[in-house]
A and B are shown apart, each in its own frame.
Chain A
Amino acid sequence: KQEVTQIPAALSVPEGENLVLNCSFTDSAIYNLQWFRQDPGKGLTSLLLIQSSQREQTSGRLNASLDKSSGRSTLYIAASQPGDSATYLCAVSLLSGGYNKLIFGAGTRLAVHP
């Protein structure tokens, strides 16, 4: 059974810091991995999608890497800003799970203070 774990559960940093959020999964037979952010009480905003054949994706100050063999992904946020404060979720879809069934981690709650 696929399990997705995110470390740390919560993180508080001063503005301007570079930070790394971690995601691990137990079954390496994934189809893709997606990072989302969620603001309190709101829906999910897609940040980056990494296909299983890819090693990383970049969008602006965000960079996500994928190491399928070790079951790990990291989300790197450069020069953090207070507007980055949110919960960050990673999710994987499985080759055997119909591709669109996402299995989520519990998230990392990030607070960036001025």
Chain B
Amino acid sequence: KAGVTQTPRYLIKTRGQQVTLSCSPISGHRSVSWYQQTPGQGLQFLFEYFSETQRNKGNFPGRFSGRQFSNSRSEMNVSTLELGDSALYLCASSGDRGYEQYFGPGTRLTVT
């Protein structure tokens, strides 16, 4: 069974631009969660999508948004990028609530 895949793996953007990251979950998994990892704040939960609906949300500004498609693939969008958005963005998939979560390799975003 293929694991969680994320594209692109690396991105360099300029302040003020927007970016879209993609995540394909393990086949059959309907829950996709997104996390931001930085050296200063560690791993922080962004949001979770299940069956195309946002089921849970962390404490991030509205510039961070996401969506999920009918095939469970998910995208995350960050608008008006700031230097502080530079981070490793990880997505995780699971079968349902409370099941084991499996992480992708991440997208490394650098904002200059």
Contact = CB atoms under 8 A, between A and B. Distances in A.
Interface of A: 31-32, 34, 36, 41-46, 49, 51, 89, 91, 93, 97-107
A3 to B, nearest CB: 11
A102 B33 CA distance: 9
Interface of B: 4, 6, 31, 33, 35, 42-45, 48, 50, 55-56, 58, 88, 90, 92, 94, 97-106, 108
A46 B4 CA distance: 12
Contact of B45 (A36, A41, A101): A101
A104 B95 CA distance: 20
A104 B48 contact: no
Contacts, number: 65
Contacts of A101: 33, 45, 48, 56, 58
A42 B102 contact: no
Contact of A99 (B92, B97, B105, B106): B97
Contacts of A41: 88, 108
A36 B97 contact: no
A106 B105 contact: no
Contact of A100 (B42, B44, B98, B108): B98
